[in-house]
């Protein structure tokens, strides 16, 4: 071993980079090690077809904490997030439901399906907003340890209790129901129209190995609603230049503080000596010493792959083994020769620039989940699909387009065996056929298509089972239970070892909060001033 770093961050995902940026900003000598030849992890733009940029994992941005964007000066480092408005679900009968950002337009469109639903939407929106208002202040806070008597934990616990108390008695009951119920049950309390329920239910299952009738899916909807673009809560946007722009800006900010990134450097082992992390060993055999080691990998990979079980307390080993991180999604990234036509909407409709979905009832969504339980991909899949090149001029040549298609459900294994290339191609064909059902000229426009199953997502990105959130967002794995009880404050079980990935609070998505929260804890342990900003107040 030669040089000793103050800190090594394993993985150049956006959380690893955020964490590293704060440590470097504080004056520490920080090295980020990335196994791939490119940085970003699941927040990346790749040119896999000449002149086309694919956001080939994450594709839209809302959760990214504005406090961090501003504090790390990400706009100056090249990041621009451009909101798009709304979404649309196509129906099998040729009709569609369009969700517009403008409230009055939205009312009219819902009323076209049901006047009652149009009005109920206002009640729904207020109720969901109550939940986002509750959760948002916690995104940039470390969860309290509920059984600890340390002053800071008591203070945080009080903050949490106060937030709940602020909801009032009825609000508290609603919240407990909301956090535990299914998205279908929740929506049934507001709406009568099938397509509207199906349209809204999508956010409850994305990235989750649960169906619309499974308890816990209402919270998953909240996870997609609690972000914002420029203060508009629930809005989503494109990162100009693809999602890689987020990682590139973070990396540039990190480097501006003197940080160092090494790609093609896979960490094989965190070296532990005397119950303390002292460095890492790369798969090349090289060893690098550091006072602190931070893992940007999911909890399973962190504790079961790059740590020796003998170095760990048994409870951590078993908790990591039991951690729920099930693959449920796939993705297609497609280069198109022109803009496709969709049934029912003209090409200049604002709905063309929104999230597109293709299941028009909760029934069809649940059937799609049934296939997953049977160990197969959905024959009638749910997609979350966008054509960002209509808005972002950097993604494809003028007049050509890039389409991103997120697919639910794809199991981590096919009937208990590994995915094969033939399975992957057949999965891709199922999705393309599904889209073509609603877009007659779509197939003829395809120039190139990248198909990613949980197998590719696991192997290339390093997300166990291809789970996009690095662990399911169910109540048993949230807040002070994320990743596991007793370890929710970003500290690992041995000294000098920390976690900063989406597997920690507040969870998955391109949010940068886990990385920043972990940095706050590390700086506190080092007795250095905190640099991580506080959350903006909603009220």
Partner 1 sequence: MRSHDETMMLQTPFHSRVAKACELNQWDEWKGYTTPAAYTEVEQEYFAVRNSTGVFDLSPMTKYRITGADAELYLNKVMTRDVRKINPDRVGYTIWCNDAGQVMDDGTLFNFGENNYRLCSYTRVMDWLQWSAMGFDVEIIDETADFGALAVQGPTSCAVLKAMGFKGIEKLKPFGMSHFPFEDAEVMISRTGFTGDLGYELWVEPPKAITLWDRLFDAGSNLGIRAIGGNALEMVRIEAGFLQAGVDFVPAEETVRVGRSRSPFELGLGWLVDFDKGVFNGRQALLKEKREGSRYAFVFLDVEGNKPAEHSFILKGNKEIGTVTSAAWCPTAKSNIAFAQIESKYANSGENLTAEIYYQTELKWTRLLAKCRVIDSPVFSSPKRRQTPAPDF
Ligand X SMILES: Cc1cc2nc3c(=O)[nH]c(=O)nc-3n(C[C@H](O)[C@H](O)[C@H](O)COP(=O)(O)OP(=O)(O)OC[C@H]3O[C@@H](n4cnc5c(N)ncnc54)[C@H](O)[C@@H]3O)c2cc1C
Residues that bind partner 1 (CB under 8 A): 66, 69-70, 74-75, 80, 82-85, 101-102, 229-232, 235, 240, 350, 390-394, 398-399, 536-537, 539
Q: Which is closer to ligand X, CB of 191 or CB of 216?
A: 216
- Which neighbouring-strand residues pair with 357? 89
Phi, psi of 144 (to 5 degrees): -70, 155
Q: How far apart are CA 491 and CA 221, in angstroms?
A: 29
Asked if residue 458 binds ligand X (CB under 6 A), the reply is: no
Residue whose CB is less far from ligand X, 329 or 489: 329
The tokens describing 109, both together, are 């469109």
Residue with tokens 């996870």: 223
3-state secondary structure of 48: strand
Nearer to ligand X, 105 or 141 (CB): 141
510 binds, among ligand X, partner 1, none (CB under 5 to 8 A by kind): ligand X
Closest CA to 335 of 53, 108, 120: 53
- The partner in contact with residue 501, picked from partner 1, ligand X, none with C-beta cut-offs of 5 to 8 angstroms by kind, is ligand X
Q: Which of 7, 8, 9, 12 binds ligand X (CB under 6 A)?
A: 12
Of the candidates 386, 403, 334, 335, the residue with the CA atom closest to the CA atom of residue 60: 386
Q: Shortest CA distance to 388 belongs to which of 456, 442, 445, 335?
A: 335
Q: Which of 34, 153, 366, 472 binds ligand X (CB under 6 A)?
A: 34
* From partner 1, ligand X, none, interface partner of 234 (C-beta below 5 to 8 A by class): none
Cβ–Cβ under 8 Å, residues 499 and 490: yes
Please name which of 446, 240, 451, 439 lies closest in space to residue 338, comparing C-alpha atoms.
Answer: 446
Quick one: what does residue 316 bind among ligand X, partner 1, none, with the CB cut-off 5 to 8 Å set by partner type?
none
Which of ligand X, partner 1, none has residue 536 at its interface (CB below 5 to 8 Å by kind)?
A: partner 1
Please tell me the distance from the alpha carbon of residue 500 to that of residue 23, in angstroms, as a whole number.
12
The CA distances from residue 327 to 314, 330, 466, in Å, are: 26, 9, 5
69 binds, among ligand X, partner 1, none (CB under 5 to 8 A by kind): partner 1
Nearer to ligand X, 120 or 468 (CB): 468
Q: How far apart are CA 128 and CA 220, in angstroms?
A: 12
Q: Which of 60/473 has CB closer to partner 1?
A: 60
Shortest distance (Å) from residue 139 CB to partner 1: 14
35 binds, among partner 1, ligand X, none (CB under 5 to 8 A by kind): ligand X
Length of the chain: 539
Write out the two tokens for 524. Answer: 């506190």
Instruction: Pick out residues in 483-522 that bind ligand X (CB under 6 A).
Output: 501-502, 508-510
Does 144 contact ligand X by CB under 6 A?
no
List the Cα angle 153/155/157 in 5-degree steps.
65
519 binds, among partner 1, ligand X, none (CB under 5 to 8 A by kind): none
Of positions 15, 182, 253, 408, contacts ligand X by CB under 6 A: 15
In the list ligand X, partner 1, none, the entry touching 33 (Cβ below 5 to 8 angstroms by class) is: ligand X
CB 405 within 8 A of CB 383: yes
Cβ atoms of 46 and 57 closer than 8 Å: no
Shortest separation between residue 134's beta carbon and partner 1, angstroms: 15
| Residue 299 interaction partner, one of ligand X, partner 1, none, beta carbon < 5-8 Å per kind | none
CA distance 508 to 251: 20
Comparison of 325 and 532: residue with beta carbon closer to partner 1: 532
Stretch that binds ligand X, among 208-216, 348-356, 466-474, 517-525 (CB under 6 A): 466-474
Residue 254 binds ligand X, judged by CB under 6 A = no
Q: Which does 406 bind (CB under 5 to 8 A by kind): partner 1, ligand X, none?
A: ligand X
Which residues within the stretch 265-304 sit at the binding site for ligand X (CB under 6 A)? 266-267, 296-297
Is residue 223 at the binding interface for ligand X, with CB under 6 A as the rule? Answer: no
Answer for the pair 489, 504: CB distance below 8 angstroms, yes or no: no
Cβ of residue 79: shortest distance to partner 1, in angstroms?
8
78 or 485: CB nearest partner 1: 78
User: What is the DSSP annotation of 368-418?
Assistant: HHHHHHTTS--SS-EEEEE-GGGT-TTSSSTT-EEEEEEEE---SSBTTB-
Q: Three-state SS for 466?
A: helix
The CA distance from 181 to 493, in Å, is 33
Query: Residue 201 CB, nearest distance to ligand X (Å)?
Result: 17
- Look at the block and give the residue holding tokens 């407990």: 176
The Cα 380–Cα 441 span in angstroms is 20
Does residue 333 bind ligand X (CB under 6 A)? no
Query: Could you give the C-alpha distances from 31 to 254, 403, 411, 487, in angstroms and in order?
Result: 10, 35, 35, 24
- Out of 36, 175, 256, 291, the only residue in the binding site for ligand X (CB under 6 A) is 36
Q: What is the DSSP letter of 503?
A: T
Does position 208 interact with ligand X (CB under 6 A)? The reply is no
* Residue 327 interacts with, from partner 1, ligand X, none (CB under 5-8 Å by kind): none
- Closest to 24 in 3D by CA, of 258, 240, 183, 323: 258
CB of 142 to partner 1, least distance (A): 21
Closest to ligand X by CB, 209 or 267: 267
- From residue 405 to residue 444, what is the string marking binding to ligand X with x (rule CB under 6 A)? -x--------------------------------------
Query: For residues 518 and 500, is the Cβ–Cβ distance under 8 A?
Result: yes
Tell me the closest approach of the beta carbon of residue 394 to ligand X, in angstroms.
18
Point out which residues bind ligand X (CB under 6 A). Answer: 10-16, 33-36, 41-43, 57-60, 63, 266-267, 296-297, 306, 329, 331, 406, 457, 461-463, 468-470, 501-502, 508-510
């Amino acid at each position: 071993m030669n040089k000793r770093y103050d800190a090594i961050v394993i993985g150049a995902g956006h959380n690893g980079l955020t964490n590293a940026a704060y440590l470097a900003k504080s004056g520490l000598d920080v090295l980020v090690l990335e196994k791939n030849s490119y940085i970003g992890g699941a927040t990346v733009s790749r040119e896999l077809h000449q002149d086309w940029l694919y956001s080939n994992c994450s594709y839209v941005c809302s959760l990214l904490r504005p406090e961090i964007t501003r504090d790390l000066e990400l706009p100056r480092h090249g990041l621009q997030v451009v909101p798009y408005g709304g979404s649309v679900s196509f129906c099998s009968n040729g009709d569609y439901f369009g969700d517009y950002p403008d409230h009055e337009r939205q009312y009219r469109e819902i009323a076209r399906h049901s006047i009652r639903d149009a009005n109920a939407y206002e009640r729904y929106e207020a109720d969901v907003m109550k939940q986002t208002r509750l959760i948002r202040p916690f995104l940039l806070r470390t969860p309290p340890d509920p059984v600890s008597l340390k002053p800071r934990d008591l203070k945080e616990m009080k903050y949490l209790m106060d937030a709940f108390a602020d909801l009032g008695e009825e609000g508290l009951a609603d919240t407990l129901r909301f956090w535990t119920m299914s998205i279908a049950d929740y929506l049934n309390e507001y709406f009568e129209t099938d397509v509207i329920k199906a349209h809204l239910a999508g956010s409850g299952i994305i990235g989750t190995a649960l169906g619309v009738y499974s308890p816990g899916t209402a919270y998953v909807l909240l996870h997609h609603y609690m972000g914002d673009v420029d203060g508009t809560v629930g809005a989503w946007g494109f990162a100009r230049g693809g999602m890689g722009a987020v990682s590139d800006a973070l990396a540039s900010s990190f480097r501006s503080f003197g940080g160092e990134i090494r790609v093609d450097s896979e960490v094989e082992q965190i070296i532990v000596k005397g119950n303390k992390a002292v460095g890492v060993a790369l798969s090349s055999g090289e060893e690098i010493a550091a006072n602190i080691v931070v893992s940007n990998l999911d909890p399973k990979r962190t504790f079961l792959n790059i740590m020796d079980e003998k170095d760990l307390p048994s409870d951590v080993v078993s908790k990591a083994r039991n951690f729920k991180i099930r693959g449920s999604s796939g993705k297609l990234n497609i280069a198109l020769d022109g803009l496709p036509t969709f049934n029912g909407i003209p090409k200049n409709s604002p709905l063309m620039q929104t999230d597109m979905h293709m299941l028009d009832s909760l029934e069809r969504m649940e059937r799609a989940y049934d296939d997953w339980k049977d160990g197969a991909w959905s024959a009638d899949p749910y997609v979350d699909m966008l054509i960002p090149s209509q808005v972002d001029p950097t993604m494809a040549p003028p007049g050509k387009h890039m389409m991103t298609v997120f697919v639910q459900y794809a199991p981590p294994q096919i009937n208990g065996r590994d995915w094969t290339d033939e399975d992957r191609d057949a999965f891709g064909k199922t999705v393309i056929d599904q889209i073509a059902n609603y877009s007659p000229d779509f197939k003829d426009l395809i120039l190139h298509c990248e198909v990613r199953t949980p197998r590719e997502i696991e192997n290339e990105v390093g997300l166990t089972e291809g789970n996009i959130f690095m662990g399911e967002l169910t109540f048993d794995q949230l807040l002070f239970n994320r990743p596991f009880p007793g370890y929710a404050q970003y500290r690992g079980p041995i000294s000098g070892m920390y976690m900063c990935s989406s597997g920690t609070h507040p969870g998955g998505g391109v949010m940068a909060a886990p990385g920043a929260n972990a940095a706050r804890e590390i700086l506190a342990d080092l007795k250095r001033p905190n640099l991580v900003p506080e959350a903006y107040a909603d009220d």
